[in-house]
């Protein structure tokens, strides 16, 4: 007989199981998910019903639900993975802890404003995902995704969140409410900001990046000595003078809020060690992942916009060309510096076994 097993609000899946009894169907479902590294408790089974299937298409669709998460793209060395979909849903569907998270969430600025790009006046609307929300809606949005990310951080892990005054205060409040400890608020001072065309206030030339750790009393990793060396053997401050993206970073297209590799490289070097995992829940064109792989880290990116996921995949494929890989490293000053100090810094120790994603 064929039973339909309904499983837990978390997985929200129905499975068709051939079994001689409802109890055997539960056990078979449990064992099947266990083979995918998803651990279920018997309390996760909501119902087991005898399924009468008359349509073969229904059977095929139900069988598809047996699959665990399927990456949109995974590099051959498994250090770069992309998931296409809504991070609010996908983060609930797997259990894995990351060393570091970088997030560039929507700023909710797409309300018909204008700016200057390449000397031309352009609309700053970026897409439906960036449409304005009320302050209450923004708070609810930030509380939800930051809560999901906290569950995905190791106890000594840290998170970086970028923003402007439009959203960064909400982010800071939510981080505090959720139990994070804010470590720094880095000011990224852009060395080449777009001009202010209204001439009625100061030119916007900065963004803010909050750095926080998961737990108040759990020590985090900080590569203090390297940051000091990069800064001329002086303590690095929380004001970073770095340019916006350069033309060579747009080889596969341009995301409207794309961050420069120099910025992400510094963040990753400061707060992670080689071989560790970095998550980006709003990955866009995967600048975080490119920087991570250039520095010998592992990466998972999530985005709901297929054109940006495709852009990230193409950018990662570029790195498979050794000439492109070395060219990119040579264009990032912080990486140039560590290459001069530690020529073998990105070579992984083959005796170390790193964790891997469960999909």
Condensed to tens digits (0 to 9), the pLDDT of residues 144-193 reads: 999 999 999 999 999 999 999 989 999 999 999 999 999 999 999 999 88
pLDDT of 42 > 80? The answer is: no
- Rounded to an integer, what distance in angstroms lies between the CA atom of residue 322 and that of residue 103? 28
- Rounded to an integer, what distance in angstroms lies between the CA atom of residue 52 and that of residue 182? 55
Query: Tokens in use for 147?
Result: 């809560």
Inter-CA distances, 342 with 224, 233, 275, 338, 339, Å: 16, 16, 16, 6, 5
Q: Is residue 345 very low, low, confident or very high in pLDDT (cuts 50, 70, 90)?
A: very low
* pLDDT tens sequence across 137-156: 999 999 999 999 999 999 99
- Structural domains in the chain plus CATH codes: 2-64 (no CATH), 73-341 (3.40.50.150)
Higher local confidence (pLDDT), 91 or 36: 91
Higher local confidence (pLDDT), 64 or 289: 289
* pLDDT tens sequence across 258-280: 999 999 999 999 999 999 999 99
Q: Is residue 197 very low, low, confident or very high in pLDDT (cuts 50, 70, 90)?
A: confident
Question: What would the mean pLDDT of 55-71 be, rounded to a whole number?
Answer: 54
Helices 168-177 and 135-152 cross at an angle (nearest 10°) of 50
Task: Output the pTM of the full model.
Answer: 0.77
Greatest mean pLDDT among 60-69, 113-122, 214-223: 214-223
């Amino acid at each position: 007989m064929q039973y339909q097993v309904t499983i837990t609000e978390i997985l929200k899946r129905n499975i068709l199981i051939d079994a001689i009894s409802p109890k055997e169907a539960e056990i078979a479902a449990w064992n099947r998910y266990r083979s995918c590294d998803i651990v279920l408790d018997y309390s996760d089974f909501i119902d087991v019903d005898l399924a009468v299937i008359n349509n073969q298409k229904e059977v095929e669709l139900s069988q598809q639900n047996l699959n665990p998460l399927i990456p949109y793209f995974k590099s051959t060395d498994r250090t770069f993975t992309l998931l296409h979909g809504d991070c609010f849903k996908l983060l609930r569907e797997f259990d894995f802890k990351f060393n570091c998270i970088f997030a560039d969430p929507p700023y909710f600025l797409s309300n018909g404003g204008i700016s200057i790009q390449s000397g031309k006046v352009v609309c700053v609307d970026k897409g439906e995902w960036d449409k304005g929300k009320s302050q209450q809606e923004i708070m609810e949005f930030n509380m939800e995704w930051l809560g999901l990310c906290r569950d995905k951080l190791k106890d000594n892990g840290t998170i970086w969140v970028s923003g402007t005054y439009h959203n960064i205060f909400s982010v800071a409040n939510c981080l505090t409410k959720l139990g994070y400890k804010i470590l720094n608020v880095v000011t990224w001072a852009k060395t080449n900001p777009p001009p202010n065309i209204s001439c009625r206030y100061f030119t916007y030339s900065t963004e803010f990046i909050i750095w926080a750790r998961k737990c108040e009393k759990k020590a985090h990793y900080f590569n203090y000595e390297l940051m000091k060396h990069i800064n001329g053997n002086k303590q690095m401050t929380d004001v970073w003078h770095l340019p916006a993206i350069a033309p060579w970073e747009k080889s596969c297209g341009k995301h409207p809020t794309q961050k420069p590799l120099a910025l992400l490289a510094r963040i990753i070097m400061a707060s992670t060690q080689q071989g560790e995992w970095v998550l980006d829940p709003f990955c866009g064109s995967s600048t975080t992942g490119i920087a991570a792989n250039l520095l010998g880290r592992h990466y998972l990116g999530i985005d709901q916009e297929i054109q940006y996921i495709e852009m990230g995949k193409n950018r990662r494929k570029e790195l498979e060309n050794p000439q492109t890989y070395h060219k990119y490293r040579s264009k990032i000053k912080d990486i140039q510096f560590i290459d001069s100090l530690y020529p073998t810094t990105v070579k992984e120790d083959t005796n170390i076994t790193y964790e891997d994603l469960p999909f």
